[in-house]
Structure 1
Amino acid sequence: MARRGVRLGVDRSVPGLIVKIGRYPLHHGGVGAIRSLGRLGVPVYAVTEDRFTPAAASRYLAGRFVWPTTGREDPRRLVDGLLRIGRRIGRPAVLFPTDEEAAVLIAEHAAELAGSFLFPRVDPALPRRLASKQGLHELCAAHGVPTPAAAFPRSYAEIAAYADRARFPVVAKNREAFVRRSRPAVAGTTRIGGPDRLLDLARDWGPRPAVILQEYLPGEQAEDWIVHACCDEHGAVRVLFTGVKVRSWPPYAGMTACAYVVDNPQLAAMTGDFVRSVGFAGIADLDWRLDRRDGRYKLLDFNPRMGAQFRLFENTAGVDVVRAQHLALTGRPVPEGAQRAGHRFVVENIDLPARLAYRRGRTGPHGPARAAGTELAWFAGDDPLPFFTMLARSVGPGARHLVQLRRAGRRAGTAGGRFT
């Protein structure tokens, strides 16, 4: 591992800090980032909910800061907390946000954080706009990027008018990304089969519904694609990877459970053009859906931070998006190389229920007949404790997964050290 670190030219004097806001202790993306940099000899610190999260158990973690947050705190308090962490680390660290709240906080308070941390500078308003379903839709329209047709109703009357003209089924999503800050209108991506169901649900959305009603892209006529990229402040795309999502949890609309690296030059070019045109800098995780009915890739989500499945992607020089950002922000060259086509990523604790659910319903897109290699989200021979910590903490969530699996099967047949 040390030899690869020398070959990449990483600056081991500059640590990394995994930043999260809100409670989601079973996050394999944070573990992946700790391992990715830690294996190169870079000291990695992490914000954790408590001392017993998988990330806190990694052998590659240089230090943890137990700092429970909800996402509802005043931003000033969150900035002050990050600055205290920076003082504890004692030297500037590269920031790696794992959620939209953290990415937006860093962008909007860059001036206060700049002395203690390293991160790409970007238009302060851009990450919040990209994370918002409405903001992203508007940016796509402005830059000619295909995206599903959508409506943004401001009242129940507008929803009723939409119900009269819409082609069902439709999809309801929360308009803003920060659903942990308040009671969300919908639990997640919700498929609505007809106007009566829409009107029934809308009665609970309040006088100013914070939802987006979006065109439904039928799964049997679509493919789900993911793109991960790292861009610098000068508009250069340092690395960009493309892959296909085979299964997700919850089924068809949730977190990636299994994915493959698949070369897609057309999608890579579309993504590169879009991130440059909007002026984004940093790590991005984008979800696209190929609509086979018209042959167009349509952008569904733009997450202005590293994706939980980023370790799916690495080029032949050993560079992933996390390593690329650390290299770029420390003034080191980012080696080029081809992506590892055919490589597979599996999230052990959610892929089993996802696999069963997909067997009961429609199938998703397929990867290569044989994987060129598999990266597991949790288990690693050189760092096993996060896997066992995940298992210990998955007892309750595992029971909920079984309940969700039963519901998904029924739907498939019809549907549609404490730090303060």
Structure 2
Amino acid sequence: MTERGSRQEAFVAPDNLAALATARELGCAGIAVTVLAHRRGPAARSRFVEFAQVPDLYRQPSAWAAEVARLAAARPKPPVFFPTEDAALIAAEHEYETLASAVRFSYAAPGVVPNIVDKRRLYATARSLGIATPSFLAIDSRDRLDRIPSDWMVKPACRYWLAPTGEIRTFLTLSGGSKAISQEPGRAAARILEAGFPVLAQERIPGAFEELVSVGLYVDRSGQILAAFCARKHCEYPEPFGDGLVVEAISDPGIGGAAADLLKACGYWGVCDVEFKRDPRDGQFKLLDANPRVWLWHGLGAACGSPLALTAYCVASGQRPPAYPPNGARHPTWVSPRGCLAFLLTSYRPKRHGLGLPARLTVGALRTILRDLKTFRDPLYLRPSAWRAFASEVGSRLHARWNKHVADGD
């Protein structure tokens, strides 16, 4: 664990794989990291992390913020705060006054995050800049459901929201982990509305999965890019519309500037993942999503010489971002070991995915584990407790998917 002294710490919340990637990147630079969650996850098992138990972010966001602020106030300097899920962004936005005097935000707050996490606002801003988006339709009542074309997909305009009860609710529990629903869009939209989420109906962009390209970047308050990389997804979990399973860093196909312009127009500075898909019908890269926070494979940036979390920390703490050499690989690749195993156990179908995919995923996952062991000397997957938590997570995903299957069959 990193020795704690007078240097500003980093507070990372909640505990997940994005928290682990953030803790490793910061910890290797000698920055003390505290991960805050109501129960231990993968990051809490890292040698770089001190774990602090706090109230459940989803069930008690106000109590969560109060405890984070109390812990931060006990530090010599305000810790730099990194949210790792949209739920933490929403809680911090709602409880800004509680947190602002105790932590240093690593991103624009308050009042800016809704411009990005609400896809209606995001798409409207993109179109005002001439950035292409899919055709879409905002649905806020059942009387507009019949306007959704049958070959479109639907998703919530915001995947997380603060309910009147004071709890944070997420669409991912409704969808079994997927970020959109492509079957029976009218019926799916009705379910999303009933759960309390506004709906965004959107055309599907044709083309291969490999046409999905992301820009990971850090932009400062003036809109200048201080660190950036581009990546292409090769697999995802859960299917469809899940998180990256195999992700490869690539050269910028010409979308990095548009991503920075979009964030500047939204009033945002900080770390962000901006997702596009190339439409083979017109050759344009069309905006799909943006995530204004760290995510599970943002560590590819450091492998490319663009450490996003470290850059955000340095700017927030008043330091100059350091020169960071790339690891020498031409196209660094990230493969999720936990995601690969979960995919093979719950989603792999030989006829659909091919007989060679399990070997490819296994080799990629082993390479990622060995590279992380060499780079971070942080043997997470050699610890039995990490796999017990993983088994519980897979069981929860299977249960959620079964419930979704039963609901869809009613």
Normalised by the length of structure 1, the TM-score is 0.78
Q: Does the alignment pair 1:138 with 2:117? A: no
In 2: Cα distance, 1:316 partner to 1:215 partner: 33
Higher relative contact order (CA 8 A, sep 6+): 1
* 1:15 aligned to which of 9, 14, 18: 9
* 1:46 aligned to which of 32, 35, 56: 35
* 1:261 aligned to which of 233, 243, 249: 249
| Counterpart amino acid of residue 380 in structure 1 | L
In 1: Cα distance, 2:264 partner to 2:190 partner: 41
RMSD between aligned residues: 3.6
Identify if the C-alpha distance between structure 1 residues 207 and 351 changes in structure 2 by more than 3 Å, giving closer, same or farther.
closer
SS at match of 2:378: coil
Identify if the C-alpha distance between structure 1 residues 267 and 219 changes in structure 2 by more than 3 Å, giving closer, same or farther.
same
Q: Does the alignment pair 1:303 with 2:291? A: yes
Q: Does the alignment pair 1:95 with 2:81? A: yes
Q: Percent identity?
A: 18
* 2:352 aligned to which of 331, 355, 361: 361
Gaps of 5+ in 1: 3-10, 408-420
Q: Does the alignment pair 1:176 with 2:158? A: yes
- Does the 8 A contact of 1:34 with 1:60 survive in 2? yes
Q: Which residue of 2 aligns with 1:113?
A: 99
Cα shift at 1:70 = 4.0
In 2: Cα distance, 1:32 partner to 1:308 partner: 6
Identify if the C-alpha distance between structure 1 residues 375 and 89 changes in structure 2 by more than 3 Å, giving closer, same or farther.
farther
In 1: Cα distance, 2:381 partner to 2:349 partner: 27
Q: Which residue of 1 aligns with 2:52?
A: 65
Identify if the C-alpha distance between structure 1 residues 171 and 341 changes in structure 2 by more than 3 Å, giving closer, same or farther.
farther
Q: Which residue of 1 aligns with 2:276?
A: 288
- Does the 8 A contact of 1:156 with 1:209 survive in 2? no
Alignment of 1:211-360 (within 5 A): 211-220=199-208, 223-314=211-302, 317=305, 319-335=306-322, 341-352=330-341, 354=343, 357=348, 360=351
Cα shift at 1:219 = 4.4
Alignment of 1:154-173 (within 5 A): 154-160=140-146, 162-163=147-148, 166=149, 168-173=150-155
| Counterpart amino acid of residue 189 in structure 1 | K
Cα shift at 1:158 = 0.9
Q: Does the alignment pair 1:384 with 2:379? A: yes
- Does the 8 A contact of 1:227 with 1:241 survive in 2? yes
In 2: Cα distance, 1:181 partner to 1:110 partner: 16
Normalised by the length of structure 2, the TM-score is 0.80
In 1: Cα distance, 2:197 partner to 2:43 partner: 37
SS at match of 1:243: strand
Gaps of 5+ in 2: 162-166, 404-410
How many residue pairs get aligned? The number is 379
